[in-house]
Amino acid sequence: MDKDRVTVLISCQDQKGIIANVSNWFYERGLNILHCQQYASKDESPIFFMRIEADMSESKLDKAEIEEQFRVFASNLKLSYKLFYASVKQRLAILVSKTSHCLYELLSRYEENDLICDIAMIIGNHDSLSDVAKKFNIPFYYMPIINGEKEKQEERIIKLLQENNIDLVVLARYMQILTPTFINAFRNRIINIHHGFLPAFQGANPYKQAYERGVKMIGATAHYASEDLDQGPIIEQDVVRVNHEQGPSLLKDMGKDVEKRTLLSAVRAHIEHRVIVYKNKTVVFSKES
Amino acid sequence: MDKDRVTVLISCQDQKGIIANVSNWFYERGLNILHCQQYASKDESPIFFMRIEADMSESKLDKAEIEEQFRVFASNLKLSYKLFYASVKQRLAILVSKTSHCLYELLSRYEENDLICDIAMIIGNHDSLSDVAKKFNIPFYYMPIINGEKEKQEERIIKLLQENNIDLVVLARYMQILTPTFINAFRNRIINIHHGFLPAFQGANPYKQAYERGVKMIGATAHYASEDLDQGPIIEQDVVRVNHEQGPSLLKDMGKDVEKRTLLSAVRAHIEHRVIVYKNKTVVFSKES
Amino acid sequence: MDKDRVTVLISCQDQKGIIANVSNWFYERGLNILHCQQYASKDESPIFFMRIEADMSESKLDKAEIEEQFRVFASNLKLSYKLFYASVKQRLAILVSKTSHCLYELLSRYEENDLICDIAMIIGNHDSLSDVAKKFNIPFYYMPIINGEKEKQEERIIKLLQENNIDLVVLARYMQILTPTFINAFRNRIINIHHGFLPAFQGANPYKQAYERGVKMIGATAHYASEDLDQGPIIEQDVVRVNHEQGPSLLKDMGKDVEKRTLLSAVRAHIEHRVIVYKNKTVVFSKES
Amino acid sequence: MDKDRVTVLISCQDQKGIIANVSNWFYERGLNILHCQQYASKDESPIFFMRIEADMSESKLDKAEIEEQFRVFASNLKLSYKLFYASVKQRLAILVSKTSHCLYELLSRYEENDLICDIAMIIGNHDSLSDVAKKFNIPFYYMPIINGEKEKQEERIIKLLQENNIDLVVLARYMQILTPTFINAFRNRIINIHHGFLPAFQGANPYKQAYERGVKMIGATAHYASEDLDQGPIIEQDVVRVNHEQGPSLLKDMGKDVEKRTLLSAVRAHIEHRVIVYKNKTVVFSKES
């Protein structure tokens, strides 16, 4: 059943009749709309966003025809769009360093069929987590930064990602700042987890800073990586209530829980094609089924 | 600006092209869609729901023409619908007994223009809260049950409500079970707040029961009143985390907070025309602006 | 029953036997401990905190004797402490500007006996909210800043507060930065509500900033006022989940809800003597009863 | 450092001077109190509970002396108590059926040193999850119910648990009702996860029932198993907000998330010796560090 499903993400300048136009286009082609969500931004010059899931099984068009006809339609209405088939899973690469909690979260969900994608590989700038990869039968690539030559390491990684047709890169506590070259190669297709509720404590050891400041909540932010560190479009944020009883080390443990569930939630939203990026922020449509 | 706004709530058997059909109808009449939300239920024979907010200011039709043409359109497609103008506020009656926390919540929000409606009257089966009504300049009607003749009291209340064109009755801890006659007169237009997270502890003193049972959360449920006590369509539920430290009296205090915010949220959803009832449950569309 | 209750808040360098010493002191004097909470900070040189609620009704000592004997005991062990009788309510002054939502929250809770204190006065630098004060029968003092002479205005306010034996000053969206003179006169006795989750967006219109940044949660922080704006000890923080659908004005409305409940919670913690300040942060003991 | 740590859980009829008595006992023996929490129930005849973590490294007594002296002390004051050394980890057996989400949660936390105990074995009445056990190098015992002879199967399980000195049995969606014999053999040492927020929908397929009823939140409850199904002492409960968009299958997925984190939290509380059971409910002390 899923194999006949197509999801289209649309954005354009808001215009009269846009919902009617788009829904007609599907209707006339026998593409039955299963879910439809739309939104117009609150900006002075509003942008319109739409997510449509449709069933192709009763259409007389094949995929190539659908794609071509939509291309023409979108061109006429000046729509930006992406089109995804449910039968084609997103291919993920997970980048890690030495910390395992986010990796375990992603892999155990994946193993339980609770994260519908292909995790094609795990890449580490350290070798520490190769055993975890092995446990879950995922290829692990050890890609150290040699002699401080980070750009060369990134070149090797980008090559590997491209050769493997990776759709989404997940930084699961990767702890390295990516160069603009990397960012550009996977614009809005790299998800990072930030160990703080943005705007957040800057610099090293944020949980110690949180303890020193005596905050009553700690949080995490999952966002697309951008050139400006921690300034990319936010996909998901979450917090947990804390109090004076929790010292820096317990705060860190609690923070790990928030980090992993926030990252998971953001990755799910992306691979389910529920996210549209605009103006350095996101529209995240709710999940339905 | 609001004066030109119309909201239409639609439900029907799900059918192909329904989104296109409805959005076309608005487009062709120069009714610019501002917000549009839709949903198809997960039942074997799915029901389709839609909420449209549109701007009438550029349409050549007047309200009467819009209403008549939509009536015909809906009849053809077998749509159930309700149509509301933003310029016409919902008229509320609040029924109370002796407890003031929900009443205060509603009245102070009202006073702050944070609850957009007309609170036309407060009706008490006790006189205890007439001072609160006076403080906020709302007419208070003391309607005691005399000689246990509840039906007579209800008759007087229903008459008062109807004479005053009340749209929505809010039971703000009214503590009386309404007869089917009352329920029928205001079907899906009476909101009750239940001091429990349904399914819940039955009978008297639920907070004591909660303490005895040692629950770790207490909750409240706002729902439309139905003949079956506490079995009407749920509009909103909320909980608060508790632990062993809270005895029955503190649980009750904490419960009051949950009750009032849950009731407020349900009343807002109703008066903003975001609720559609079906099969003893509700579709509650999210708030946008 | 409450009239015989005394609460003591203690802090000192952590030391062996401190719990035994303090609890013995109460036991030997027939002061029955009803609640007892303690905590040692996670600092290198830990600080010990204790909150004791005791029943004096079976003690042979009168209040003066209790106070004198505890003074000597505390001096020997180098304890800092504060001692409060449940029979003596905290006296509050609420400072406001033009915005009413926090004021309404405090006053309606007060009216419902859900905020146990004496709200002695409301002071406004604008006259806008005098009607609200009148509604709840609280004296309102209009204290404008004349010719930009803020220090003179503050002098008048401080004089008024001191003449009326005010214990706690609540800045309910007062919108004025207090001078160090004011801060010092009521050190750790001025509670402010900050319309952001600290660390937060700085400067004007934080909700617009939040919208522009596309955050997925907005928050509020209640803290004691200090010379450094928004840098005082945090008492309570809370957040609410938002998404792309909420524009700046709805974010502001939702923010008001968070602000009022966060401020209320902080004021309650203070007047129930559950807060101890140290190192620019707070220990907030949980509520029991 | 942990090796010198002892935790004592105490309960008794509330009595004057109890905090002083107990804390003195530790002080006099050079057992330095690191954390101390206490609570008196709100019952007519209150019960007193206390949790003490102490450092033994500066005491002149060895473990045997400490145990013997505390035994005498407790006997004099009529205290019930349990005493645990941090150096001795709790030994767990996890019972499963065919569903893996709770098992994965426990095992991946365990693997990350985020669940401090010994998971000695996994027992399945089906063989389905033996691979998961293997992945994490935990012995798996396949213990089917043969010819419907459940008591014989339980005998084999109980024997296995006792031979392996199992302290805690975790029912990770085991889907079998235990006999009173099993319950009694591990009274208050069997934790079950109930897929509902108690009081809850009874019977099969609660998520379908939840969808039919149109609830706005779903929850889970972790509790000690008792003879009355789902009526044992509650340790932890949690909920997640849902709306009309989620059909039975998505509700079930969301429920899995709540189930696993609720179970994890309860297991942590137990193995950290933060739970005391009384009157079919629990005192769960908060975590500190």
For B37-71, give the DSSP string. EEEE-SSSS-EEEEEEEEE-TT-SS-HHHHHHHHH
CB atoms within 10 A of CB D214: 21
**CB-based burial of residue C156 (10 Å sphere; 0-12 exposed, 13-18 middle, 19+ buried)?**
middle
Chains in touch with B (3+ beta-carbon pairs under 8 Å) read A, C, D
Catalytic sites of B, residue numbers: 230
pLDDT on residue C200: 62
Among the residue ranges A115-129, A158-172, B222-236, D71-85, the one predicted with the least confidence is B222-236
Which residue from A289, A285, A265 is spatially nearest to A11, judged by alpha carbons? A285
Q: Do C198 and A219 touch (CB under 8 A)?
A: no
Reading phi first (left if > 0) and then psi (alpha if -120 to 50, else beta), residue C78 is in left
Tokens of A4: 């006949």
Alpha helix segments (H runs only) across A139-247: 150-163, 180-185, 206-213
pLDDT band, residue A202 (cuts 50/70/90): low
Q: What is the 3-state secondary structure (H, E, C) of A234-247?
A: EEEEEEEECCCCCC
Segment A139-166 mean pLDDT: 97
Per-chain mean pLDDT for chain A = 93
Do the beta carbons of residue B232 and residue B191 sit within 8 Å?
Answer: no
Q: What is the mean pLDDT of each run of 10 residues along chain C (289 residues)?
A: 89 95 96 94 92 96 97 98 97 97 94 94 97 96 95 97 98 94 97 79 72 85 89 92 88 91 97 96 91
Segment A114-126 mean pLDDT: 97
The torsion angle over the Cα atoms of residues D13, D17, D19 and D23, rounded to 10 degrees, is: -130
Give C286's contacts (C-beta < 8 A, 6+ positions apart).
A243, B245, C37, C274, D286
Cα separation, D121 vs D156, in Å, equals 14
Contacts of C199 in chain A (CB under 8 A): 199-201
What sign for the dihedral angle of Cα A71, A73, A76, A77? Answer: negative
Chains in touch with A (3+ beta-carbon pairs under 8 Å) read B, C, D
Tokens of A143: 């890609």
Number of H helices, E strands in chain D: 8, 13
Check whether B1 has a pLDDT greater than 60. no
pLDDT on residue B201: 66
Residue type, B78: K
Q: Do B111 and C104 touch (CB under 8 A)?
A: yes
Tokens of B270: 């109703």
Tokens of A7: 């999801």
Express each pLDDT in D222-266 by its tens digit.
Answer: 999 998 877 899 999 999 999 999 888 888 889 999 999 999 999
Q: What is the ipTM of this complex?
A: 0.90
Q: How many CB pairs under 8 A join A and B?
A: 40
* Interface residues on D facing B, Cβ-Cβ cutoff 8 A: 39, 41-42, 197-201, 211-217, 219, 233-239, 243-245, 247-248, 279-284, 286
The minimum CA-CA distance between A89 and chain D, rounded to whole Å, is 19
Check whether B240 has a pLDDT greater than 80. yes
Catalytic sites of D, residue numbers: 230
pLDDT on residue B94: 98
Give C144's contacts (C-beta < 8 A, 6+ positions apart).
C125, C126, C127, C153
The torsion angle over the Cα atoms of residues B52, B57, B61 and B66, rounded to 10 degrees, is: 20
Q: A210: number of CA atoms within 13 Å, CB side?
A: 33
Nearest to D24 among C24, C32, C34 (CB): C24
Catalytic residue among C14, C118, C230, C257: C230
Contacts of D219 in chain B (CB under 8 A): 217, 239
* Interface residues on B facing A, Cβ-Cβ cutoff 8 A: 16-17, 19-20, 23-24, 26-27, 32-40, 42, 286, 288-289
pLDDT on residue C20: 95
Cis peptide before A199 (omega within 30 of 0): yes
pLDDT band, residue B196 (cuts 50/70/90): confident
Check whether D196 has a pLDDT greater than 90. no
Instruction: Return the DSSP state at A178.
Output: P
Among the residue ranges A227-236, B55-64, B255-264, D154-163, the one predicted with the least confidence is A227-236
Cα separation, A192 vs C74, in Å, equals 52
pLDDT on residue C201: 66
Express each pLDDT in A181-200 by its tens digit.
Answer: 999 999 999 999 988 776 66
Best mutation target, D35, D98, D108, to test chain A (most A CBs within 10 A):
D108
Contacts of D286 in chain B (CB under 8 A): 243
Contacts of C244 in chain A (CB under 8 A): 39, 41, 281-284
Q: Do B19 and A17 touch (CB under 8 A)?
A: no
CA-atom Rg of chain C in angstroms = 21
Q: Do C245 and B287 touch (CB under 8 A)?
A: yes
Segment A268-272 mean pLDDT: 97
**CB-based burial of residue C83 (10 Å sphere; 0-12 exposed, 13-18 middle, 19+ buried)?**
middle
Contacts of A288 in chain B (CB under 8 A): 39
Nearest to D104 among A112, A247, A286 (CB): A112
CA-atom Rg of chain A in angstroms = 21
User: C235 — phi, psi (to 5°)?
Assistant: -100, -40
The minimum CA-CA distance between B24 and chain A, rounded to whole Å, is 5
Cα separation, C106 vs C110, in Å, equals 6
The minimum CA-CA distance between A246 and chain B, rounded to whole Å, is 18
The minimum CA-CA distance between D261 and chain A, rounded to whole Å, is 10
Contacts by C42-46, CB closer than 8 A, 24 or more apart:
C42/A211, C42/A247, C42/A248, C42/D289, C43/C279, C45/C13, C45/C14, C46/C13, C46/C14
Q: A141: number of CA atoms within 13 Å, CB side?
A: 18
Cα separation, B40 vs B71, in Å, equals 22
What SS3 state is found at A185? helix
CB atoms within 10 A of CB B167: 20
Among the residue ranges B11-25, B194-208, D36-50, the one predicted with the least confidence is B194-208
Express each pLDDT in C62-119 by its tens digit.
Answer: 999 999 999 999 999 999 999 999 999 999 999 999 999 999 999 999 998 989 999 9
Q: Do C284 and A244 touch (CB under 8 A)?
A: yes
pLDDT band, residue A15 (cuts 50/70/90): very high
Cα separation, B41 vs B277, in Å, equals 12
pLDDT on residue D47: 96
Among the residue ranges B142-146, B161-165, D231-235, the one predicted with the least confidence is D231-235
Contacts of A105 in chain D (CB under 8 A): 108
User: Token match 């639609």: residue?
Assistant: B10
Per-chain mean pLDDT for chain B = 93
* Interface residues on A facing D, Cβ-Cβ cutoff 8 A: 100-101, 104-105, 108, 111-112, 114, 135-136, 245-247, 249-250, 253, 256, 286-289
Contacts of A247 in chain C (CB under 8 A): 42
Segment B199-213 mean pLDDT: 72
Cα separation, C271 vs C115, in Å, equals 9
pTM greater than the 0.80 cutoff? yes
Check whether A206 has a pLDDT greater than 90. no
What sign for the dihedral angle of Cα A62, A65, A67, A73? Answer: negative
Best mutation target, D47, D216, D243, D279, to test chain B (most B CBs within 10 A):
D216
Contacts of C105 in chain B (CB under 8 A): 108
User: How far, in whole angstroms, is CA B241 from its chain's centroid?
Assistant: 26
Paired residues of D84 in beta bridges: D7
Report the run of H or E that residue C288 belongs to, with start and end.
none
Straight-line distance from the first to the last Cα atom of chain A, in angstroms, rounded to the nearest whole number = 13
